[in-house]
Structure 1
Amino acid sequence: MAGNSTAQRSADGETARRAGAKWAILGISVGASVAAVLTAATSGLAAFYARQIVVPVGATEELEILHVSGFDDEMTVLLPADDETTVNGVYSLWFDEGRGHARIGNVIEYDPTSRTVLREVLGVDSGDLRAARIGRWNGTYYRNPQALQVPSEDVVLHTDAGDLPAWYIPGDPSAVAAEDAEATEKTWAILIHGRGGTRAEGLRAVPTLRAAGISSLSISYRNDPEARSGSSSRYGLGDTEWLDVDDAIEFAISRGAERVVLFGWSMGGAIAFQAAARGRYKDRISGMVLDAPVVDWFSVLDEQARINRLPTPIARLALEMISQPWARWITGLETPLDLNRMDWVTRAAELRVPVLLIHSDDDDFVPSGPSHRLATVRSDLVTMPRYDKARHTKEWNVDAERWSDDVRSFLQKIVVSDREGSASVR
């Protein structure tokens, strides 16, 4: 009996050990499966975010147009109140999938109870605003040079990415002092719009430039809405688009320009930095005016990941994907992007031309911190007046007079420096 009992206990123990081993193996298998699923999910989210960064997408109309009243020059529009629509200034309201365009003025009334805002309609340039139900709010105030009622010419830039449309707008020499006329006549401004925008974005600078006697070339570039080559288009975040700015400078030189000032909005600022550092005609660049520029892509993409509640490991993996050869099949990029080369806080010592940085501190798309850091470490070249209530690239929209004064003062310093330089050479 005792022997049988001992044998039974031994058998029971072996069964238990086998069962334990089975569950241990199953536990390892389940753990590995969960880890694999989590890794796949992380990689999938990172891939999605990486593609969002580099794949051009069309602008969406999501702002509800609640009511339009009045006639002709006395129209008003009622809109939902948000961080954009409640800021005074002049803006664009696009509708009917971009075919309709209205210029919107200051706030007339804000109702905190209904969370609505009533604003002036300064003019409807195209479309039927009364029939519109949704629209898109942005700072691109003039839709084309005709809206400015100034002379202009449609031109084409011939680049390795194909033919790119641009607008040439001559300066007004009659508005310039005689001693500055020669310098301003030979100075052109190259206007570089931001990611997802069009060449119309830069037209806000034209009145200021014409009054300074400076001609403007408002350009499109590879991968923007006017120059995409199907679904294969990918943004280079400035790492490739600067080549088109180089061709724009070449065009300006062919028309008599001796020097240029680069104007860049948002990603257009990142493009301008690269053209000034790497271009064939970098020695022709006298200065840069940068509005809410991307000075450092790491800060921008980290901030966007935070806003979208994307965990840091996923955000970091996404950045790795757009900057490493192994992920080209995921992102669709022909060449990985060098984000370090586009970090101008780190590269501040390489800056070689005067820069006017205009960047509102409440910008929630491109943080102003890197702009401030660049202005601090290169105070010898960088001027940065403080703006704090203009959101992203809307400093002109909020206060066109102040924006113009800051730009005019900066341009005058460049013109004087060029004039004195020319005199010393003679």
Structure 2
Amino acid sequence: MSDIITTTISLEALAPHPARHASPPVAHNRKRKKRNKHVFIALVASMAAMCLIAIILFHGYVAWLLAYPYVAPLSSNPEEAIGVAYEDVVFASHSGETTVSGWYVPASANDANDAARTVVFSHGYGANREEAWVPMYELTKLLHSLQYNVLLFDYGYASKQYKAPATGGREESQQLLAAIDYAKSRGAEDIVVWGFSMGAGTALQTALQTDEIDAMILDSLFVPSSEALFDNLNQFVPLPKFPSLPLIETMIPLWTGTDFGSIPAEEVIANAYDMPMYIIHGTQDAKAPYGVAEAIANNQRHSLTRSWIVDNGQHELLFRMHPREYIQRTALFLSQVDGENGAKAEA
């Protein structure tokens, strides 16, 4: 009997006890679920962080592209392209922060009074002093035949030797001021700035800082602002306005040392300049709406100021569209400016 009892007790001892062995698997499952939840949260957080970093890096790269646009190297020179003599020139910007290089084409005139007239070209963003589609060489040849000196130069973002970031006109205006100073040092008494696209906008910014400009011709006028630059960028890379625009605005100063808030866009548009201007713009300009050009023209009070809004004209292709009329209109404007300057000199 004792053997039976002992065996029964031993078998009972070996049998699983529900209360004792059910708890550990439940606790283990809870720990595993909790661990999996933490892993999932960490994974989601990591992916979100990686996406955020990717977004920041992408917009940083876009801001860098805006500061350092690709510009093709110079392919020729005035002597090779149009058969006129020229000089390579280099000078410091008015601010002293950058260096400017360009070409000086002396007038073909023998009359010293004629040689005292100089046109300074102000090229557009993403282009250099050649700006073939304008076309700059043909206009240089025209001015040379009209007995004007011509100064063509590269803004910093277009220079290969003296590279500098695009600043929306802050430093570019200093480079244009230096170009005007150089023309004056070569004997120029009457200076006309002929600007294209952002180069025209830079001319207006520069005119806020000096009275050495006697007249301006502004073709496809583009006034840089955060909104305008974003609209142009959006034509090539579709981006949502938020968060793209704030991110780009934040990162631009990292590459350029300046921000959009320093660009006097509103003042440029509203100002009445004390000089004659010829504003030329196309109705189909996808980069710079012609309404801005019209607003600037309407704010002017000088008797010689005029505008030519070209029906169906596209950005910087107005000469190509109407070459004969373009030459006739600009030559007439220059002759009228010259006559006014001559009358002032005699008074």
The TM-score range, normalised by the shorter chain, is 0.7 to 0.9
Amino acid at match of 1:268: G
Q: Which has the higher contact order (CA 8 A, sep 6+)?
A: 2
Contact 1:361 1:388 in 2 (8 A): yes
Q: What is the TM-score with the length of structure 1 in the denominator?
A: 0.63
Compared with structure 1, are the counterparts of its residues 379 and 276 closer, same or farther at alpha carbon in structure 2 (3 Å cutoff)? closer
Structure 1 equivalent of residue 269 of structure 2: 348
How do residues 239-388 of structure 1 correspond to structure 2 at under 5 angstroms? 239-278=170-209, 282-307=210-235, 308-312=237-241, 313-323=243-253, 328=254, 331=255, 333=256, 335=257, 337-352=258-273, 353-376=275-298, 378-380=299-301, 383-388=306-311
Task: Find the aligned partners of 1:421 and 1:207 in 2 and give their Cα distance.
Answer: 28
Corresponding position of 2:162: 228
Q: Percent identity?
A: 21
Q: 1:43 and 2:56 equivalent?
A: yes
- Of 5-14 and 359-368, the range deviating more from structure 2: 5-14
- TM (normalized to structure 2)? 0.76
SS at match of 1:290: strand
2:90 corresponds in structure 1 to: 157
Instruction: Look up the equivalent residue of 1:318 and give its one-letter code.
Output: I
Where does structure 2 lack aligned partners over 5 or more consecutive residues? 1-16
Q: 1:37 to 1:50 in 2, by over 3 A?
A: same
What secondary structure is seen at the aligned counterpart in 2 of 1:385? strand
1:198 aligns to 2:125 (yes or no): no
Q: For residues 271-314 of structure 1, give each alpha carbon's deviation from its aligned partner in whole angstroms, at most 9, with x where no partner exists.
A: 32232223xxx211112112223212324322233211122222
Counterpart residue number, 2:103 = 166
Asked whether the 8 Å contact 2:272–2:300 carries over to 1, the reply is no
Instruction: Sort the Cα spacing of 1:341 and 1:371 in 2 relative to 1 into closer, same or farther, 3 A.
Output: farther
1:404/1:345 Cα in 2 relative to 1: closer, same or farther (>3 Å)? farther
Q: Which amino acid aligns with 2:106?
A: I
Measured in 2, the distance between the counterparts of 1:271 and 1:305 equals 19
Equivalent residue, structure 2, for 1:216: 150
C-alpha displacement of 1:172: 4.5
The correspondence for 1:394, drawn from 298, 317, 334, is 317
SS in 2 for 1:386: strand
Deviation at 1:216, TM superposition (A): 1.6
What is the rounded CA distance, in whole Å, between the counterparts of 1:7 and 1:351 in structure 2? 93
Aligned equivalents of 2:301, 2:29: Cα separation in 1 = 78
Aligned equivalents of 2:250 and 2:290: distance in 1? 24
> Which amino acid is the alignment partner of residue 158 of structure 1?
F
Counterpart residue identity of residue 301, structure 1: L
The one-letter code of the counterpart of 1:354 is P
CA contact (8 A) 2:91 2:178 kept: yes
More strand by share: 1
| SS at 1:241 equivalent | helix
Whichever residue aligns with residue 317 of structure 1, its letter is: L
The alpha carbon displacement at 1:213 in A equals 3.8
Alpha-carbon distance, 1:260 to partner: 0.9
* Counterpart position of 1:119: none
More helix by share: 2
Q: CA deviation at 1:51?
A: 0.9
Q: What value does the CA root-mean-square deviation take over the aligned residues?
A: 3.5
Task: Report the alpha carbon displacement of residue 250 of structure 1 after superposing the two structures with TM.
Answer: 1.8
- CA distance in 2 between partners of 1:9 and 1:304 (Å): 69
Aligned to 1:122: none
Q: State whether structure 2 residue 58 is matched by structure 1 residue 52.
A: no
Deviation at 1:228, TM superposition (A): 3.3
* In 1: Cα distance, 2:110 partner to 2:280 partner: 26
- SS at the partner of 1:165? strand
Equivalent AA in structure 1 for residue 200 of structure 2 = G
Structure 2 match to 1:177: none
Contact 1:299 1:367 (C-alpha < 8 Å) held by counterparts: no
Q: From the superposition, tell whether residues 403 and 218 of structure 1 become closer, same or farther in structure 2 (CA, over 3 Å).
A: same
Change (3 A) 1:349 1:24: same
Q: How many positions carry a matched residue from both structures?
A: 318
